[in-house]
Amino acid sequence: MGKVLVTGADGFIGSHVVEALLAKGQDVRAFVQYNSFGTWGWLDSLIADQKAAFEVVAGDVRDANSVREAMRGCTAVIHLAALIAIPYSYQAPQSYIDTNINGTLNVLQAARDLGVERMVHTSTSEVYGTAQYVPIDERHPLVGQSPYSASKIGADQMALAFHASFATPVVTIRPFNTYGPRQSARAVIPTIIMQVAAGHTRIRLGSLSPTRDFSFVADTARGLICGIEAPASAVVGQTINLGSNFEISIGDSVAMIGAVMGVNIVIEQDGQRLRPQGSEVERLWSDNSLARERLGWVPHYAGLDGLRRGLSETAEWFGNPSHLNLYKADRYVV
């Protein structure tokens, strides 16, 4: 590919995608959200040599012209810019429509008008809602159990509509629950690890019974990049799950984190961390056979052993005081 635009490059997964592309020698343009501090989010944590290897453009995915100018001259796009915090979507649903649906529309319009050769649109396993059968394949019904998931369903359908209507070369990649270094504290794994790393053995959590299919961020980044590298005939117009084909409850995940970090964790249920009744996704478990077939992708951190390795690497990162100090371990982040 020529130059690759990564939207949301300043975020958790986006920064890992940029790093992985650079490791492959790819020409990268990183689209980060404008702010008056001139910061690049997690891209600021990259070493100087890495920062010199890619171009950064600041803007806002909600602004069509900003997106178009950032995309000009690029042959491929990996679209990650989104609002992702489920609890905040209960408080500010309009912002999720503006960013996730209208922002995706802006990226699709620019990709169509500029003749981009491949666009990877990033979805989420939350669009499935609680599993109606397992493992969940791409034919599973879509159920919006939160304003966040509803906004992502809208974005996914817009991507499919652009392919059907205008032959826009879009592939939708649907990661299951990604975790790893740099993740937001609003996600369950960093919430647990961060509290333990800060010296707490009694940690505050919401529901422990839901199951998740956790995917280490290196696997997710690699899968997204496969979306621009795979043959068009195999992936364009497709929606493809990225998951470990493995489920584990939140409660069992806590026990594994405790074992990895050498701590006996005592859980205190925190009511503000519970989703509203009817909104909790109780079970997620990915069928990743289409990713294996179409992308040539397999998870390197699969199963219990893979999860244990990924948790160990994540705990090591959060255990670094310079990283932990970037978080508020004593506060629930919505």
- Tens-place pLDDT, residues 173-209: 999 999 999 999 888 999 999 999 999 888 888 888 9
Nearest to 156 by CA among 259, 240, 257, 261: 240
When pLDDT is cut at 50, 70 and 90, the band that residue 109 belongs to is very high
Identify whether the C-beta of residue 18 lies closer than 8 Å to the C-beta of residue 30.
Answer: yes
CA–CA separation, 310 vs 298, rounded Å?
Answer: 15
pLDDT at 308 over 80: yes
Question: How large is the average pLDDT for residues 121-145?
Answer: 98
At 203 the pLDDT is 86
pLDDT tier at 81, thresholds 50, 70, 90: very high
Task: Give the tens place of pLDDT for each residue, 275-293.
Answer: 888 899 999 999 999 999 9
Who's near 295: CB < 8 A, 6+ residues apart? Answer: 223, 226, 227, 230, 234, 235, 240
Q: How far apart are CA 330 and CA 80, in angstroms?
A: 29
* Structure confidence at residue 330 (pLDDT): 73
Supply the pLDDT for residue 269. Answer: 80
Q: Does residue 334 surpass a pLDDT of 80?
A: no
Q: What is the mean pLDDT of the chain?
A: 95
Q: Which helix (H) or strand (E) holds 50?
A: helix 48-51
pLDDT over threshold 90, residue 227: yes
Domain ranges of the chain: 4-184+215-246+282-302
Confidence band for 320, pLDDT divided at 50, 70 and 90: very high
pLDDT digits (tens, 9 = 90+) for 13-56: 999 999 999 999 999 999 999 999 999 999 999 988 899 999 99
pLDDT given at position 159 = 98
Decide if pLDDT at 331 tops 80.
no
pLDDT over 70 for what percent of the chain? Answer: 100
Provide the residue type at 85 as one letter.
A
pTM summary value: 0.96
Q: Domain 4-184+215-246+282-302, CATH 2.40.30.20 — does that match?
A: no
